[in-house]
Structure 1
Amino acid sequence: MTDFAPTASAWPDGQPARPASTAIFSPSARVAQPLSTTQKVLLPAGVVLFNWLFWLEAGGPNVLVFAAFVVMAQLLLVPRVALVRRSGYFWLMVGGSLFAGAMMAVYGSGAAALACTASLLMLLGYVNQPYLKLVLFALLTALGSAAQAGPRVLAGLRAPRDTGAGMRRGWYYGRLLLVPLGVLVAFHVLFALANPRYAALSSRALEVLGDFLLWLLPEVSVAHLLFIVLGFLVTAGVVVMVPVHLYADRESRFGEFIQRQRNRVASFAVRQPSFRYNKAGALDLRKEFLAAAAVFGLVNALLLVVNAIDVNWLWFGFVPKPGFDLTQFVHEGTYVLIFSILLAMGIVLWFFRRNLNFYAPGLPWLRWGATVWVLQNAVLAVSVGLRNYYYILHCGLAYKRIGVCFFLLLVFFGLGTVLLKIWQRRSAYSLVRLNSLAVYAVLLLLAAGNWEVWMARYNLQTRFRTIDIGFLLGMPGRVLPTLLAHRELIDRAPQLTAEAKYGGSEVISAADAQRRLNARVANWKAHYQAHPGWQSRTYAAWQTYRQLSVSK
């Protein structure tokens, strides 16, 4: 298998010319020609494995096994001399995929499932285009390739050579009918959504077809056949790589640093050689500098007042007064302040996007003004964190509160990269690349946490006057041992709430809370015993069942 012939394009920072788009597998190797022996083995094996792991199963160890299959398939298909094997991004996604899969085997959480799915897709994207750096472009490249892989495999199928002309003709027209059938399915879905009577009639027809197939093949149903088709499409996207050059071509025009430019092109554009400004250009820069200096000066003064109020009010000895609506204070204030921080970062990116980075007469003043503004926004982010902390301290933990904590971590990282842009003339592309990696790291960190159990332990404290027992009972089953260990606290809680039937919340009695807890435990144990397969049995679920079996 050979590489594509590169199309040379200039690359910034004095680096050697690299292809604008390069895929490690040529069309003749993985698409145009018949499948290789390795692909012929991996494709049906992947379909069988996908069906065995996921049919009628939830996420758990099966995700780890399939992630290992995807990684193994890429290592088998990628030549040892391929460029992608020297890419740090490729190995980062290999490690991230296996780590997130392991967290699925341990907890089976939604965050772990999202992290594993994103890691596998980005892994395929970097295999497709090894020069890619932006994780978002890798994700989109993988989706574009996977969408084309299944149809390419079907289009490349050939009838056996030893058959007659009638068989080959039937094979040809059978493949030709795939497009009309696809169009038919698309219009069927549209008509079913638009016409309820048609939807009911088609549902009845599908039930009759399903009953016939069940009589013909007792172990196969329409849903199962569709699931097998899904497994084929997923496996084809893993095994057959269709080169997608769009995002690699686009990224090849980006640079890590800003250079002087003659035209009015943002920092994402290809960098041009430096030049001398004429009087008109210098005048334009002077006007832009005055506008930037005015903005930074005025907002610094305004933000200084806001930060002084917050530091005096929130940072030292804040105690909410009786009747103070802490929920509204946190929710409205947090969202508005976060928006203001993001807006501030956007304004800095706007003014430092072009040749103003090289305006020698006013650049030091502009840099220091922007730096002070960034630091003041960091102080504002600390105030947002304190608002979130006070809510957690007085009202307990929730998913949004944890989300705000991690979002603030990303905000501090983003403000740090903005400082790099100010002082190192980094481009917007550089900031997007760095912050995308930070988002991915936070996603892996979220996948590694047993957040529901930690939230339940924190919220079940005697200092809270209200316990939302409905919220805790709605969490995954691994929180049940924690709830059973705090039965006495539930009985003594001043107030217990749960979600009302028609929305909102209602106060319930301790006896009702205990009854709901017993019902939740019984239902969870029954569901666990009714699904004995190992595919979806996480380590946390196994440990929970052991604890519930010995508890009273």
Structure 2
Amino acid sequence: MKQTLIIIASILSSFLFFEQSIGINLLIFSIITIIVLAFNNLKQFKDTKILLYCLVYVTTSVFVFIQDSSLSIFANCVAFFTLIGKISQSKTSIYINWLNGVFTSITGLFFRRVNAKKNIENTSPKKEVDFLHIAKLIGIPTLFIIVFVLLYKNGNPMFNDLVEQINFNFINFQWLLFTVLGYYLISNIVNPIQVEPATSNDLNTKNNLYKSKTFSIEKLKKEKQLGTTLLGLLNLLIILFIVTDIASLMSVETIKASDMSTQVHNGINTLIASIIIAIVIILHFFRGDLNFYSENKTLKNLTYLWILLNVVLIALIAIKNQTYITSFGLTYKRIGVHIYIFLTLVGLITTFIKVMTIKNMVFLFRLNTQIVFAILILFSAINWDTTITKYNLDNANSYDLQYLINLSDANAILLKHHSLEVELDAKFNRKIDWKYNNYLKHIKRKDWQEKSLKDYSITEVEQNL
């Protein structure tokens, strides 16, 4: 039954994906994958964590169907590996889930067979399959049949005509190869495996810090003095920087695009250096016994102030970047700046939690990777090409129309409507028309497996614009 299910799933996968682009087929494949995994891992599927990650995996495939974006496809792949890794061991960190998921998908079947040979139970020996004999049984007769068919063709015109009529064109060898690859993938993932010793090490590693056996008050006193002096001076420096930055923002009423770009990029460079240094310094001083030193209150307060001031610095850069966006429109780089700002804010908050609750570096890495995974899933729900286009056309004071034309075809209808409502340069009208017509042709050429929601939602009016 197990092998039958794998074969059926492999054939369905080939039917869905062979010579097809990504669309509703990925959603169907996700459902098939969960069915196969559930059938072979009933015990694991009683765990609510597994069911949650199944929901996340299916949700990302729904995002692919709705948005049809590269980011949603990437998020679906990450969710797939996460689910496979979570089934292998539900209690490990998410980055270990990724490791187990990728390793299982590539080498699961091979690894299980090799591992099974190493752990043969002391039972009655099973008769081994003589693969060499089977190969001879199939290969030798086939070889001689081919040789004699070629000989008989030359000796009998009627037999030659009969052989010539045999046509094997109905066999699609590329489809067969694709199906075999699908069978290999599904066979790999049916019973997810664990990469050792990474999995066991992760399970045995806790999040809390503990006082070491070499706890030295004299040594910690000196380290606390160093940390207090350093963080005190750094706090004064960042306060001076923030004050001057606010003053410069308030003193300038108008600013050129190039100047604003320079300010934002310089601010980001400052932010990168500042946050990295801040986190490294904090993690250095609170890496061990200083967390348990009774006179570390001043150092902790300076640390909290340092984190807070870096949050203020983040807010200033965010304001600059948003002002830039309002004036000159959205681009992927400007969205990337906002995302980086948000991630650095998350990093500071998790560092604050680590210091306050006396956690170790593993806790920080575990928490941050979980947050990054969640953000990836959330952001995959958005088609950024259409979002950028809508924002720029409706809200930006000025924008680069050529940049919008160069984006994917997801914004073709928006640009076509815009070209009909606003008088544009003739060259832009030609480019938009070319983009729009190619988009419609591409949709008409799609098979049902490749269709996404927006392909079904195009009205007759939009097709005749």
Q: Amino acid of the residue matched to residue 151 of structure 1?
A: F
The residue identity in structure 1 corresponding to 2:277 is L
Change (3 A) 1:165 1:374: closer
CA distance in 2, matches of 1:426, 1:235: 39
Identity over aligned residues, as a percent? 22
Distance 1:312 1:261 in 2: 47
How has the CA–CA distance of structure 1 residues 421 and 164 changed in structure 2, closer, same or farther, with 3 Å as cutoff? closer
Deviation, 1:394, is 1.4
Separation (CA, whole Å) in 2 of partners of 1:545 and 1:114: 29
Give runs of aligned pairs for residues 457-472 of structure 1, distance below 5 A. Answer: 457-461=390-394, 464-465=397-398, 467-472=399-404
Residue 339 (structure 1) aligned to one of 266, 273, 284? 273
* Larger CA deviation: 95-104 vs 246-255: 246-255
Task: Select between 478-487 and 115-124 the one with higher mean Cα deviation.
Answer: 478-487
Other structure's SS at 1:259 match: coil
The equivalent residue for 2:195 is 244
What CA deviation, in whole Å up to 9, does each residue of 1:251-274 have, x standing for no partner? 1332221111136xxxxxxxxxxx
1:225 Cα deviation from its structure 2 partner:
4.8
In structure 2, how many angstroms separate the alpha carbons of the residues matched to 1:162 and 1:453? 60
Q: Figure out how many residues of one structure are paired with residues of the other and give that number.
A: 429
Unaligned segments of structure 1, at least 5 residues:
1-36, 175-214, 264-276, 493-509
TM-score for both structures, normalised by structure 2: 0.84
Per the alignment, residue 423 of structure 1 pairs with: 356
Structure 1 residues 152 and 135 mapped into 2: Cα distance closer, same or farther (>3 Å)? Answer: closer
Q: Deviations over 1:43-68 (max 9, x none)?
A: 21221122111112222111111111
Q: Distance in 2 between matches of 1:109 and 1:537?
A: 13
> How much does 1:463 deviate?
5.9
Contact 1:334 1:384 in 2 (8 A): yes
2:61 aligned to which of 101, 104, 114? 101
Partner of 1:473: 405
C-alpha distance in structure 1 between counterparts of 2:191 and 2:139, whole Å: 24
Q: Displacement of 1:338 after TM fit?
A: 2.7
- Correspondence for 2:298: 365
Contact 2:99 2:195 in 1 (8 A): no
Which residue of 101, 104, 114 maps to 1:145?
104
- Opposite residue 248 of structure 2, the aligned amino acid is W
1:349 to 254, 276, 283: 283
Given that 1:256 and 1:430 are in contact with CA atoms closer than 8 Å, whether structure 2 keeps it comes out as yes
Q: Is the 8 A contact 1:135 1:433 kept in 2?
A: yes
Unaligned 5+ segments in structure 2 are 117-126, 141-166
Q: Provide runs of 4+ in structure 1 moved above 4 Å.
A: 152-156, 161-166, 171-174
Q: CA deviation at 1:284?
A: 1.8
TM-superposed CA distance for 1:137, in Å, is 1.0
Aligned to 2:456: 542
The corresponding residue for 1:268 is: none
| Cα 1:218/1:431, change in 2 over 3 Å | same
Q: Indicate if the aligned counterparts of 1:397 and 1:458 stay in contact, CA closer than 8 A.
A: yes
Matching residue of 2:345? 412
Identify the residue that residue 57 of structure 1 maps to in structure 2: 20
Structure with more relative contact order (C-alpha pairs < 8 Å, separation 6 or more)? 2
156, 165, 168: which one aligns with 2:134: 168
Structure exhibiting the larger radius of gyration computed from Cα positions: 2
Identify the residue that residue 257 of structure 1 maps to in structure 2.
Answer: 208
What residue number does 1:70 align with?
33
Residues 106 and 540 of structure 1 are in contact (CA less than 8 Å); yes or no, is this contact kept in structure 2?
Answer: yes
Structure 2 residue 353 is the aligned partner of structure 1 residue 390: no
Match of 1:312 among 247, 250, 266: 247
SS of the residue corresponding to residue 260 of structure 1 reads coil
Q: Which has more helix, going by share of residues?
A: 2
- Give the aligned CA root-mean-square deviation in angstroms: 2.9
Residue deviations 1:458-488, cap 9 Å, x none?
21258644x4233222323231221112115
Structure 1 residues 252 and 399, CA gap change in structure 2 (3 angstroms): same
Of the three residues 169, 182, 188, the one matched with 1:217 is: 169
Query: Do the aligned residues in 1 keep the contact of 2:328 with 2:396 (CA within 8 Å)?
Result: no
Aligned match of 1:201: none
User: TM-score with structure 1 length normalisation?
Assistant: 0.71
Question: Alpha-carbon deviations, 1:84-118, whole Å to 9, x = none?
Answer: 63353x23321210110111111111111111111
